[in-house]
Chain A
Amino acid sequence: MEVTGYPDLARRYRVSSVPKTVVGENVEFVGAGPESMLLKHVQQAAGDGAPAV
């Protein structure tokens, strides 16, 4: 999602630094990370598995 054209989404998801990843509605992180970290966030958003650090 190229966010400059969608200021409403930038506000809604509080995008100040990019890349910002939002998983579900409430789990988020900025920047890149290892696959295992992304998996943890996805599991957390699905309510399945340990909370992401």
Chain B
Amino acid sequence: MALITDEVVSQLKEEFSTLANPVRLAVFSQALALPESEQVRRLVEELGALHPQISTESYNFVLDKEKVEGLGIARIPAVAVMGAEKDYGIRFYGVPSGYEFGSLVDAIVDVGSGDSGLSDETRTALGRIERPVHLQVFSTPT
């Protein structure tokens, strides 16, 4: 059975219709250790089927060490939302359900449109920052 309902599928297809650039979704799971991480893999694969600009890659957290380290994946389930050439550093950890699912969809749209939606003023200020800054947003499903 599909995880994304038909109603949501049609909404998502409309949202994704604005995707101008390719979006890569890399999902990291481990069925044996964490069964719910498999749900996330299925969810990501369903998202990938909704638009030709979205491609998906599935990795095993234990076996695919090179990818895990290359993308800096710290735990599972994890989803990296990337452009074709550029990794913006966007990672989702945990099961993206409820409000988090909306955030995941927003991240796909931001990457695929190539526009973060930030003002010019903010972009200029951020451009002056000289070292990497790690932002973590914690949420719960409700």
Contact = CB atoms under 8 A, between A and B. Distances in A.
A20 B137 contact: yes
B interface SS class: loop
B125 A1 contact: no
Contacts of A9: 138
Interface stretch (B2-10, B44-52, B89-97, B107-115): B89-97
A34 B77 CA distance: 30
B100 interface: yes
A40 B136 CA distance: 15
Interface residues of B, number: 27
- Interface of A (DSSP majority class): mixed
Interface string A4-48: 111001100101001111111100000000011001001101111
B93 A1 contact: yes
20 contacts: A2-B97, A3-B140, A5-B95, A6-B93, A9-B138, A18-B138, A20-B138, A21-B136, A22-B137, A23-B134, A25-B134, A39-B125, A42-B126, A42-B129, A42-B133, A42-B135, A46-B129, A46-B131, A46-B133, A49-B125
Interface of B: 36, 75, 92-97, 100, 118-119, 122, 125-126, 128-131, 133-141
